[in-house]
């Protein structure tokens, strides 16, 4: 007979094997390729090359993803707050019905829509012009960094808002109502009473969004021109144009480090909270 | 006993079926239109003349990355008995690598239509000797597309274009080098125009010191880029031309004509090949060394490169320039279809200003110097 312990091991073995074969093995492989020459000796030259050619894109990627996270957070707080504390049933009902839609639309489809929506003579500007809100000559194209951020925020906000609204629904409403009774505005109740209680959830959602946005290839490729662009596009280009896996893997390691940075900030905060409580 | 009989007959059927129903796998690197060309046009035609054969068309994606995927597959199956692909349609850069690594079969002497091929690119693919291994499926060419209403006299040379862009900011658009080959072709044309000896880049030999001589040209390109729009992709340039957001930009000639035929570009768009010229490239039909259906693959390519198919499929239906010498198409094509292909770019333009891409090491140097000096 198998002992309880052995049985547990058998049960997790398939999962463990999948993680090892499909994630750990390629990860180690790409790490090795990023740090070695073809003859197998250790080198940092791929990182030097990555820095020389793509330093601007590294900064661009971080700025884009951070800015998108901040805007996503703001939009998600507004939506989740309205859903929790809103008093007009029409607004709450409509928002509830609508806000989750982008969740079901893949990044590539969103990018394709934005490509015609945000263009200089695209749907958005044409609508403004035909409504008389804008002169045709003052129309500008948003198909650059702004387009990438807009697509990311549009796509990630429902995900963050969904988690946040769930967390808000489960906190003790008495504290919120006490705040309201004492005359605090809804915005103040949201920011000072509700939000601190759901901060861990918000952070988890944002860290997940951060990592997701960091890994998207289709949006920067389709929405914006390639100068500057995000690291995913550079990695694809390294492989497709030069067959150069080493530098692509070096860029991959840089991406790991960026996403590890986000994870560390999150973990640190968690530990601080445990220490204080 | 009965079950055993049934099992045996099923096994026998399964063993025999490859003989009666053969499958020819055709892998195509390229845009969807090329995959469709095999799937909807060539495949059914071949199946009709070869009863019992099924043609399966697989697309591996546009651009050099599509060819890279075919290369990786053949390379991975090198040690095996047979490859999954029987016919591959590949780009120039990958063709050189595959021939060097022995992944392709020398087959053109078995295919009669190879005698009708006259272009240099059938022998020399970006500096690699590929004669015997490939037959061009078609020739494609890049050129500047412009809106004739916004731009009455298009620039005749790259130098004129440079001045024009400085006077008309944000009216020229191209897709950089990471968004598709039309942008790469423009950058290559720029280096041909301002970077010195373009013949050496096309014919070799390779000298790693040459790239230093492009510094001035690339510095000017960086300044030029401040006055232009970087578009998202080959289709992005055409989209922006269509919406009137830019007045001129580099495009693939076949895409241009197809979009115009579909009504996705207004009829006032025209093409111009600015001097000293812009590059074009062929796609190649090749046969993997380890295919199990070599004979069938050769017959498929013979059909695909026959004058009638080149006239109807390549020129008339898809607006590419033929892969075999154009004189073989005489009489197979009506005058209107022929004229359409040469309305804006005359055959004389094409022979003087339709260049090749540089040999592979220079090609990589141009791309990487651009990343270093212009983009970052």
Cβ atoms of B27 and B70 closer than 8 Å: yes
Relative orientation angle of helices A145-170 and A45-85, to the nearest 10 degrees: 50
Number of Cβ within 10 Å of residue B285's Cβ equals 28
Predicted model pTM: 0.81
Please tell me the CATH superfamily of domain B2-139+281-342, with its number.
Periplasmic binding protein-like II (3.40.190.10)
Q: Given B68, B245, B376, which is nearest A55 (Cβ)?
A: B376
Number of Cβ within 10 Å of residue A200's Cβ equals 13
**Domain range holding A268?**
44-276
What are the φ/ψ torsions at residue B136 (nearest 5 degrees)?
A: -65, 135
The reply to whether residue B375 touches residue A226, judged by beta carbons under 8 angstroms, is yes
Q: Given B179, B243, B368, which is nearest A226 (Cβ)?
A: B179
Write the pLDDT tens digit of every residue in B202-238: 887 888 888 889 999 999 999 999 999 999 888 889 9
Verify cis geometry, omega within 30 degrees of 0, for the bond prior to A228. Answer: yes
CATH class of B140-280+350-375: alpha beta
Residue A264 forms part of a structural domain: yes
Number of Cβ within 10 Å of residue A268's Cβ equals 10
The reply to whether residue A226 touches residue B178, judged by beta carbons under 8 angstroms, is yes
Interface mutation vs chain A, best among B72, B169, B179, most A CBs within 10 Å: B179
Residues B301, B286: Cα–Cα separation, whole Å = 8
Q: What is the pLDDT of residue B2?
A: 61
Give the single-character DSSP code of B277. -
Assess B100–A contact: CB distance below 8 Å, yes or no: no
For chain B, domain boundaries: 2-139+281-342, 140-280+350-375
> Binning pLDDT at 50, 70 and 90, where does residue B8 land?
low
| Bigger pLDDT: B54 vs B328 | B54
- Whether B2-139+281-342 shares its CATH topology with B140-280+350-375 is answered yes
Two tokens, residue A235: 């990695």
How many domains are there within chain A? 1
Domain at A182, CATH number? 1.10.3720.10
Assess B261–A contact: CB distance below 8 Å, yes or no: no
Residues A51, A264: Cα–Cα separation, whole Å = 23
Q: What is the DSSP annotation of B170-232?
A: T-BEE-TTTS-HHHHHHHHHHHHHHSS-HHHHHH----GGGGGGGHHHHHHHHHHHHTSEE-S
Residues B75, B96: Cα–Cα separation, whole Å = 14
- Collapse the DSSP code of B278 into the 3-class scheme (helix H, G, I; strand E, B; otherwise coil) and give the result: strand
Residues B361, B376: Cα–Cα separation, whole Å = 21
Smallest CA–CA separation between B232 and chain A, in Å?
4
The angle subtended at Cα B86 by Cα B136 and Cα B255, nearest 5°, is 40
Q: What is the pLDDT of residue A248?
A: 94
List CB contacts (< 8 A) between B176 and chain A. Answer: 225-227
Residue A4 forms part of a structural domain: no
Write the pLDDT tens digit of every residue in B69-120: 999 999 999 888 888 999 999 998 889 999 999 999 999 988 888 888 887 8
Residue A131 forms part of a structural domain: yes
Write the pLDDT tens digit of every residue in A166-207: 999 898 888 888 988 998 888 898 988 899 999 988 998 999
Residue B181 pLDDT > 80: yes
**Mean pLDDT value of segment B162-188:** 91
> Binning pLDDT at 50, 70 and 90, where does residue B174 land?
very high
- Which residues are bridge partners to B146 per DSSP? B248, B270
Residue A201 forms part of a structural domain: yes
Residue with tokens 């970087």: B230
Cβ atoms of B262 and B235 closer than 8 Å: no
Two tokens, residue B283: 């796609």
The reply to whether residue B68 touches residue A239, judged by beta carbons under 8 angstroms, is yes
The reply to whether residue B230 touches residue A227, judged by beta carbons under 8 angstroms, is yes
Q: Given B176, B239, B372, which is nearest A52 (Cβ)?
A: B372
Residues B173, B176: Cα–Cα separation, whole Å = 9
Q: What is the pLDDT of residue B19?
A: 47
Question: Number of A:B CB contacts under 8 A?
Answer: 87
Q: Given A116, A227, A240, which is nearest B68 (Cβ)?
A: A240
Residue B341 pLDDT > 80: no
> Binning pLDDT at 50, 70 and 90, where does residue A240 land?
confident
Cβ atoms of B134 and B108 closer than 8 Å: yes
Give me the sign of the Cα torsion angle A196, A197, A198, A199. Answer: positive
Smallest CA–CA separation between A140 and chain B, in Å?
9
Smallest CA–CA separation between A84 and chain B, in Å?
40
> Binning pLDDT at 50, 70 and 90, where does residue B6 land?
low
Please tell me which residue of chain B has the smallest CA distance to A239.
B65
List CB contacts (< 8 A) between A225 and chain B. Answer: 175-176, 179, 229-232, 236
Assess B372–A contact: CB distance below 8 Å, yes or no: yes
Mean pLDDT, chain A, as a whole number? 89
Kind plus residue range of the DSSP H or E element containing B140: strand B135-147
């Amino acid at each position: 007979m198998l002992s309880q312990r052995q049985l547990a091991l058998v049960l997790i073995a398939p999962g463990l094997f999948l993680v090892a074969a499909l994630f750990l093995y390629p990860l180690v492989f790409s790490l090795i390729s990023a740090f070695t020459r073809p003859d197998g000796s250790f080198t940092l030259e791929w990182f030097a090359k990555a820095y020389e050619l793509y330093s601007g894109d590294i900064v661009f990627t971080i700025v884009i993803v951070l800015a998108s996270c901040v805007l996503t957070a703001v939009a998600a707080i507004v939506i989740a707050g309205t859903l929790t504390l809103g008093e007009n049933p029409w607004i709450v009902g409509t928002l509830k019905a609508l806000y989750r839609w982008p969740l079901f639309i893949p990044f590539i489809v969103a990018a394709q829509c934005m490509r015609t929506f945000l263009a200089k003579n695209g749907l958005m500007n044409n609508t403004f012009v035909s409504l008389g809100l804008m002169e045709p000559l003052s129309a500008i194209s948003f198909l650059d960094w702004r387009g990438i951020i807009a697509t990311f925020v549009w796509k990630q906000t429902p995900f963050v808002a969904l988690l946040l609204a769930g967390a808000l629904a489960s906190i003790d409403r008495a504290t919120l109502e006490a705040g309201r009774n004492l005359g605090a505005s809804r915005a103040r109740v949201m920011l000072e009473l509700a939000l601190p209680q759901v901060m861990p959830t918000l952070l988890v959602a944002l860290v997940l969004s951060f990592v997701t946005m960091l890994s998207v290839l289709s949006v920067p490729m389709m929405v914006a021109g390639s100068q500057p662009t995000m690291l995913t596009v550079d990695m694809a280009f390294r492989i497709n144009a030069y067959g150069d896996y080493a530098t692509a893997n070096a860029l991959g390691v840089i991406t790991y480090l960026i996403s590890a940075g986000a994870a560390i900030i999150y973990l640190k905060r968690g530990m601080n909270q445990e220490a204080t409580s | 006993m009965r079950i055993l009989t049934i099992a045996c007959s099923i096994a026998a059927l399964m063993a025999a079926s490859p003989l009666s129903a053969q499958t020819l796998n055709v892998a195509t690197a390229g845009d969807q239109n090329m995959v469709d060309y095999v799937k909807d046009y060539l495949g059914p035609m071949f199946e009709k003349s070869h009863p019992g054969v099924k043609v399966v068309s697989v697309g591996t994606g546009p651009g050099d990355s599509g060819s890279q995927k075919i290369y990786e597959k053949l390379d991975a199956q090198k040690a095996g008995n047979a490859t999954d692909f029987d016919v591959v349609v590949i780009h120039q850069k990958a063709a050189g690598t595959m021939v060097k690594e022995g992944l392709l079969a020398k087959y053109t002497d078995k295919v009669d239509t190879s005698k009708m091929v006259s272009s240099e690119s059938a022998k020399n693919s970006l500096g690699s000797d590929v004669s015997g291994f490939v037959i061009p499926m078609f020739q494609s060419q890049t050129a500047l597309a412009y809106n004739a209403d916004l731009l009455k006299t298009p620039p005749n040379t790259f130098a004129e274009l440079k001045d024009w862009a400085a006077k008309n900011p944000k009216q020229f658009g191209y897709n950089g080098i990471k968004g598709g080959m039309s942008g790469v072709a423009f950058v290559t044309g720029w280096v041909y125009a301002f970077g010195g000896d373009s013949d050496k880049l096309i014919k070799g030999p390779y000298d790693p010191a040459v790239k230093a001589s492009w510094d001035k040209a690339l510095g000017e390109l960086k300044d030029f880029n401040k006055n232009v729009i970087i578009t998202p992709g080959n289709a992005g340039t055409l989209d922006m031309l269509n919406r009137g957001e830019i007045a001129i930009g580099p495009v693939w000639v076949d895409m241009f004509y197809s979009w115009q035929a579909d009504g996705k570009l207004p009829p006032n768009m025209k093409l111009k090949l600015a001097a000293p010229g812009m590059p074009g490239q062929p796609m190649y039909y090749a046969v993997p060394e380890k295919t199990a259906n070599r004979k069938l693959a050769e017959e498929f390519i013979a059909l695909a490169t026959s004058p009638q198919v080149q006239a109807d499929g390549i020129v008339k239906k898809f607006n590419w320039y033929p892969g075999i010498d154009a004189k073989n198409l005489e009489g197979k094509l009506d005058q209107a279809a022929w004229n359409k292909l040469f309305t804006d770019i005359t055959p004389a333009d094409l022979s003087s200003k339709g260049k090749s891409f540089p040999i592979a090491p220079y090609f990589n140097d141009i791309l990487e110097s651009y990343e270093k000096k212009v983009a970052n």
